[in-house]
């Protein structure tokens, strides 16, 4: 694809909400997973 400006890129041809929302939810899920793994690791280490 070819975009003429940054705003066109960010708009993603009208699908920006779905595209950027998907990236956001994926990032959130990965961050929560890392947080839970660290929490579990600390809990096991303290036993």
Q: How confident is the model at residue 13 (pLDDT cuts 50, 70, 90)?
A: confident
pTM of the model: 0.75
3-state class (DSSP) for residue 33 = helix
Mean pLDDT of 3-14: 88
Structure tokens at 29: 């899920």
Domain count, the chain: 1
Q: Which domain holds residue 27?
A: 6-45
Could you give the angle at the alpha carbon of 20 between the alpha carbons of 12 and 22, nearest 5°? 125
Query: Is 20 inside any structural domain?
Result: yes
Query: Is 34 inside any structural domain?
Result: yes
Residue 9: count of CB within 10 angstroms of its CB: 13
Query: Would you say residue 41 has pLDDT above 90?
Result: yes
Query: Is 23 inside any structural domain?
Result: yes
Query: Is 1 inside any structural domain?
Result: no
Q: How confident is the model at residue 32 (pLDDT cuts 50, 70, 90)?
A: very high
Query: Is 30 inside any structural domain?
Result: yes
Query: Would you say residue 47 has pLDDT above 90?
Result: no
What are the phi and psi torsion angles at 15 (to 5°)? -105, 20
């Amino acid at each position: 694809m070819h975009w003429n400006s940054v705003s066109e890129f960010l708009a993603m041809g009208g699908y920006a909400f779905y595209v950027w929302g998907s990236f956001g939810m994926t990032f959130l899920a990965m961050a929560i997973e890392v947080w839970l793994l660290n929490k579990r690791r600390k809990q096991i280490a303290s036993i």
